Amino acid sequence: MNNIRYQWTPFLMYGQKMEVKKNTVIYRQGEQGKGFYYLDRGGIKIILLSDNGHERTIDYVSIGTLSGEHGAYNGPYLTTAITTSPSVLYYFSDEALSNVCRDHPHAALIFTNSQIYKFRLLAEIIAFQDSPVEQQMAHYLIRLHSVHQNENVPIDQTSFARYIDASRITVNKVLHKWKLHGLIELSNRGAIRILEFDKVREIAHREEESEGILLWK
C-alpha cells in the first residue's frame, strides 16, 4: 500500500478542499457516483452493507490515499465512507479527473493502481471470511498497523468486532489471550499496541488452525 500513498498529492490543486467533522458521511453505498476523494488529514472508515441490511466495516483509509474511485464517471458507490475524526479531504469531480489526466498523463496509471488495490483488498476480505476468528483478527490488526503506520493501532474492541464481523465477547477473549502471551498491550483509550509483530503475523499467515495451537504450547 505504501507505493500508492501520496502519489496523488501533486494534483491536489485540481480538487476542491473540504473540511468535515467526525461522523460525516462522504458517500453512500448504491448512490450514483459524483467523483472521488483524497484524504489529506483525519480518518475515514469504509462500510459495506449486505443484502440483509448488515453493516460491516471493511477498511480504514490511509492518509495520502484515494477513496471512492468507483464513483468516478457516474459509477455507483460500492461502499459507504464515514469520517472517524475531523478530516480534510479533496474532492475530485469527473471534470477534475479528466483535467488531471490531460495535463499529467501518468496520473491515469496512479488512479488505476489505486482501483486495483481496492479490488485486491475486497478479494482479500472475501478470502478471509471463512478463516478462524483469531486468524482474521491477526490479519486485520496487521492491516490496520499498515494504515496508521504506528505500533499503537487506534481501535477499540467494539470497532474491532465490527471490522471482522465477530461478537465483542469473541474479540475480547482473543485480545486478552494475546495480552497474556505478551503479543499486545491494551490501552484504556481504545488502542491496541503490537509488541510482537512477527508472532501476530505468524498467526495471520498460518494455513491451519492447528498450527496456531502449537504456537501457544
Lowest-confidence region among 10-24, 119-133, 180-194: 119-133
Q: How confident is the model at residue 19 (pLDDT cuts 50, 70, 90)?
A: very high
Q: How confident is the model at residue 215 (pLDDT cuts 50, 70, 90)?
A: very low
Does residue 53 have a pLDDT over 60?
A: yes
- If asked whether residues 120 and 136 sit together in one domain, one would say no
- If asked whether residues 136 and 122 sit together in one domain, one would say no
Q: How confident is the model at residue 83 (pLDDT cuts 50, 70, 90)?
A: very high
Does residue 211 have a pLDDT over 90?
A: no
Q: Which long-range contacts (CB under 8 A, 24 or more apart) does 97-103 make?
A: 97/35, 97/36, 97/72, 97/73, 99/14, 100/11, 100/14
Q: What percent of the chain has pLDDT over 90?
A: 54
- Please report the pLDDT score of residue 166 as a whole number: 84
CATH of the domain at 178: 1.10.10.10
How far, in Å, CA of 58 to CA of 173, rounded?
21
- Please report the pLDDT score of residue 212 as a whole number: 43
- Please report the pLDDT score of residue 214 as a whole number: 38
Q: What is the count of structural domains for the chain?
A: 2
Q: Which residue is listed with cell 490501552?
A: 187
pLDDT in tens, 119-150: 887 777 777 777 888 998 998 888 888 877 77
Mean pLDDT of the chain: 87
Last residue of a domain, one of 79, 98, 127: 127
Q: Is the pTM of this model over 0.85?
A: no
The average pLDDT across 50-75 equals 87
Q: What percent of the chain has pLDDT over 70?
A: 94
- If asked whether residues 141 and 197 sit together in one domain, one would say yes
Which residues are CB-neighbours of 24 under 8 A, at least 6 positions away? Answer: 82, 83, 87
- If asked whether residues 119 and 47 sit together in one domain, one would say yes
Domain that holds residue 53: 2-127
Q: How confident is the model at residue 217 (pLDDT cuts 50, 70, 90)?
A: very low
Lowest-confidence region among 11-25, 63-77, 105-119, 133-147: 133-147
How far, in Å, CA of 143 to CA of 53, rounded?
25
CATH of the domain at 61: 2.60.120.10
Residue 201 three-state SS: helix
- If asked whether residues 105 and 119 sit together in one domain, one would say yes
